[in-house]
């Protein structure tokens, strides 16, 4: 039943405790009988060898559990910035999210990134302040940062209780009861009255809770101002409505590793996050991409689903993970890939529990499932009923910012590498492959050093390919700074039929890429226009400064002419490429470099050295603040200057500082290229 189904994601900064929390959820819901720990390499959700070895999540994993007769599909996502695409595609198809914060670290850089991603897709969320047992944990500091840094309206629903400075339990501000978690694994919940010494504090925060909820609820406001009893069920319902509307963010606390508060989190998921029936209709268009269509969860409508993830499996081939939005489909049925306009047959349907598969006969609206047997399928594709084709809103992914060169060591490795890279590329939209004609090397582009390290390890261990790896290089781009026009006449006679194309092209700076056809009166036949656009795109793949891709271009085809016999698509493509290159030379080309957002935490006495070091790296300061005796320094630094930064930072702070960074934007390079 759709009203008893929840599709939620677990998101947050690296090491906030996402996988640890998910492992507890699986245990308390009865899906597993043993809690797997990430530091032991035994967690269920981190099943890849590289995840077990490193103790981090690098790919999102899906599972399903049941709590209070409600089916909960959970996607556990990575926290490292290099794998932010996993969060992006998961949030695109989820109905709600649990954002996990470290009670000591608070709102960290990747916390801000995943929050913005959730804002982008209008995903209702609850905040879980984890690691309340850690030294330096500060629940109220985290809630303040949620307000100040994320611009959200946190609603505190639980309070932490400490006994002899140890985190002991939580106070539920809705039921106004004290919860402790006993038993060997915290699976026995003891509910008692709030201890006298905490009662005044609890009543104060209960009033804050009621006042905030009453702002959005007339019925609750009347009861509150008339001093009448407010039923727990009404309060839960009003909090739920405000959460789904994005007006508030419920905040609860706990310590997943110490088995405190996870069951309360499960209650909050069911109580406050939406089912597929509660969310806004999904956005789609007709097959031409012109007329908008709203898609609401309904089993009685025609089938439609969005593929958000591809996984290559050595036993079954491609696993296409998809969110079903409407209708139902059975194994063995035919579906229509409206993105590629192809009809394909579903071999099998499986529900995933991390890397374990449960075969099923049919999927319905709201389900998250893996399709087996779809061959020509990719991330972001829409599959639907052939008689009612639609296009669901696809997924946008960031461009890679770093690259390495690789060379297979043997001829047999050379033969295997193309297939292996093709499989990895199909799985990961932020991983790009290119070929350097001058050096004969294969170039791998990704989101960061760790991203490319993981891919290199997969090539070696999963695909058994020995490779030599070059040093990481920055993935620069090129653009133009002014408008330029060029007229190109391509004429070639070879004795028989010749080649002829004549066109006038204009390039100008813009955001993204745009091609405009201003040909009138048939000066160039319509069938040759796509060839002109194709030639422009092909020419922009390599700029004239350093051979990097050219971005942010508007190309306008102004005029031209053709020959009845000698003109062809190939001729116009070649002429278009020549015209594009000539325009680039006239348009004052400029190199662009990736800029990283950097956050450094350090003892205050090293602040001056850190700022000077950032300045030497062509960086600029953004902000500084003290947080629990630690100086937090934020700034922007070119990626080219960040290689080896961890060693430098350890040196100037005697190993007492840490940092994190994520891609921010591209900007014009202010110094000559050193590479």
Quick: pLDDT tens for 638-653. Answer: 999 998 888 889 889 8
Of 18, 5, 17, the closest CA to residue 87 belongs to 18
Helix (H) or strand (E) holding 233: helix 232-244
CA distance 287 to 289: 5
Q: What tokens does 293 get?
A: 């269509």
CA 237 to chain centre: 30
Do residues 588 and 543 lie in contact, with contact meaning Cβ atoms separated by under 8 Å? no
Side-chain-facing half-sphere of 221: CA atoms under 13 Å: 6
Give CA separation, 172 vs 40, 141, 158, 179, in Å: 33, 19, 5, 7
Sign of CA dihedral 269, 73, 145, 247: negative
Helix (H) or strand (E) holding 496: none
Do residues 317 and 419 lie in contact, with contact meaning Cβ atoms separated by under 8 Å? no
Tell me the average confidence (pLDDT) per consecutive run of 10 residues in the chain, 675 residues long: 89 90 92 68 62 73 91 89 87 95 90 90 96 94 94 96 93 96 91 95 95 87 85 94 95 96 97 94 86 89 93 83 94 94 93 84 93 92 93 87 87 86 90 78 86 90 88 90 95 80 96 92 92 96 91 96 92 96 96 92 91 94 85 93 87 85 85 45
CA distance 293 to 338: 15
pTM of the model: 0.80
Sign of CA dihedral 506, 511, 513, 519: negative
CA 532 to chain centre: 34
| pLDDT, tens only, 469-513 | 888 888 899 999 999 999 999 998 766 678 999 999 999 999 989
Supply the DSSP symbol for 370.
E
| pLDDT, tens only, 425-458 | 988 999 999 887 766 778 899 888 889 989 998 8
| Predicted local confidence at residue 672, as pLDDT | 47
- CB atoms under 10 Å from CB of 345, counted, come to 12
CA distance between the termini of the chain: 58
| Predicted local confidence at residue 670, as pLDDT | 56
Helix (H) or strand (E) holding 239: helix 232-244
Q: Which residues, 6+ apart, have CB-to-CB distance to 46 below 8 Å?
A: 19, 38, 52, 55, 56, 57, 61
CA distance 303 to 326: 5
What phi-psi label fits residue 441: left (phi over 0), alpha (psi between -120 and 50 degrees) or beta?
Answer: beta
Supply the DSSP symbol for 528.
G
* Structure-token match 């390499």, residue found: 41
Q: Which long-range contacts (CB under 8 A, 24 or more apart) does 168-176 make?
A: 168/260, 169/260, 170/252, 170/253, 170/254, 170/260, 170/261, 170/264, 171/198, 171/202, 172/264, 173/202, 173/205, 173/206, 173/209, 174/209, 174/232, 174/235, 174/236, 174/239, 175/232, 176/202, 176/206
* Structure-token match 């101002």, residue found: 225
Q: Is 479 helix (H, G, I), strand (E, B) or coil?
A: strand
Do residues 418 and 380 lie in contact, with contact meaning Cβ atoms separated by under 8 Å? no
- DSSP letters, 25-39, are HHHHTTS-SSPPPGG
Give CA separation, 152 vs 120, 132, 156, 249, 612, in Å: 14, 21, 12, 7, 34
CA distance 595 to 9: 29
| Predicted local confidence at residue 41, as pLDDT | 52
Q: Is 361 helix (H, G, I), strand (E, B) or coil?
A: coil
């Amino acid at each position: 039943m759709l009203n008893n189904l929840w599709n939620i994601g677990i998101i947050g900064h690296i090491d906030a405790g996402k996988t640890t929390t998910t492992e507890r959820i699986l245990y308390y819901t009865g899906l597993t009988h043993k809690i797997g720990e990430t530091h032991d390499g035994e967690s269920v959700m981190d099943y890849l060898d590289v995840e077990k070895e490193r103790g981090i999540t690098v790919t999102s994993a899906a599972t399903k559990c049941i709590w209070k007769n409600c089916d909960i599909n959970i996607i556990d996502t990575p926290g490292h910035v290099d794998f932010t695409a996993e969060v992006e595609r998961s949030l695109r198809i989820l109905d709600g999210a649990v954002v996990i914060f470290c009670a000591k670290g608070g709102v960290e850089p990747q916390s801000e990134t995943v929050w913005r991603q959730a804002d982008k897709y209008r995903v209702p969320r609850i905040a879980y302040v984890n690691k309340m047992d850690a030294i330096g944990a500060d629940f109220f500091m985290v809630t303040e940062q949620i307000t100040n840094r994320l611009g959200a309206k946190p609603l505190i629903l639980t309070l932490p209780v400490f006994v002899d400075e140890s985190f002991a339990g939580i106070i539920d501000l809705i039921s106004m009861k004290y919860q402790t978690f006993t038993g060997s694994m915290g699976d026995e919940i003891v509910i008692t009255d709030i201890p006298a010494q905490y009662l005044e504090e609890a009543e104060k925060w209960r009033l804050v809770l009621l006042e905030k909820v009453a702002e959005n609820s007339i019925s609750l406001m009347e009861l509150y101002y008339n001093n009448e009893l407010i039923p727990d069920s009404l309060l839960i319902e009003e909090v739920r409505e405000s959460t789904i509307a994005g007006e508030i963010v419920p905040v609860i606390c706990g310590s997943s590793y110490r088995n405190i508060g996870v069951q309360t989190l499960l209650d909050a998921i069911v109580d406050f996050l939406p089912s597929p029936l509660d969310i806004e209709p999904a956005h789609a268009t007709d097959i031409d991409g012109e007329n908008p269509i709203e898609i609401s969860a309904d089993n009685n409508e025609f089938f439609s689903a969005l593929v958000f993830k591809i996984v290559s499996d050595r036993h079954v081939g491609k696993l296409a993970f998809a969110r079903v939005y409407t209708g139902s489909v059975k194994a063995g049925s035919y579906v229509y890939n409206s993105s590629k306009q192809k009809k394909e047959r579903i071999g099998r349907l499986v529900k995933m529990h991390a890397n374990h598969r449960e075969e099923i006969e049919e999927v319905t609206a709201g389900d998250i499932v893996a399709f087996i047997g779809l061959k020509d399928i990719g991330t972001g594709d829409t599959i639907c009923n052939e008689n009612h084709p639609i296009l669901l809103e696809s997924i946008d992914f960031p461009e890679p910012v770093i690259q390495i060169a690789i060379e297979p060591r043997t001829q047999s490795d050379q033969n295997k590498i193309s297939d292996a890279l093709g499989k990895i590329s199909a799985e990961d939209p932020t991983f790009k492959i290119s070929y350097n004609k001058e050096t004969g090397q294969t170039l791998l582009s990704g989101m960061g050093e760790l991203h490319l390290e993981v891919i290199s390890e997969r090539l070696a261990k999963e695909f058994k390919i020995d490779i030599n790896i070059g040093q990481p290089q920055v993935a620069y781009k090129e653009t133009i700074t002014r408008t330029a026009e060029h007229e190109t006449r391509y004429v070639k006679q070879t004795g028989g039929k010749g080649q002829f194309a004549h066109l006038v092209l204009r390039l100008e700076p813009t955001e993204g890429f745009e091609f405009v056809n201003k040909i009138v009166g048939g000066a160039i036949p319509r069938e040759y226009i796509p060839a002109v656009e194709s030639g422009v795109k092909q020419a922009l793949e390599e700029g004239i400064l350093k051979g990097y891709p050219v971005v942010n271009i508007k190309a306008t085809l102004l005029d031209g002419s053709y020959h009845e016999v000698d003109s062809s698509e190939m001729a116009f493509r070649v002429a278009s490429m020549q015209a594009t290159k000539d325009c680039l030379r006239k348009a004052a080309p400029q190199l662009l470099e990736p800029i990283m957002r950097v956050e450094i935490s350090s003892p205050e006495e090293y602040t001056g050295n850190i700022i000077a070091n950032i300045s030497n790296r062509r960086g600029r300061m953004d902000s500084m603040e003290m947080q629990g005796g630690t100086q937090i320094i934020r700034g922007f630094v070119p990626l080219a200057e960040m290689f080896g930064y961890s060693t430098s930072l350890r040196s100037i702070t005697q190993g007492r500082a840490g940092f994190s960074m994520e891609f921010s934007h591209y900007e014009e390079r202010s110094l000559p290229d050193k590479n």
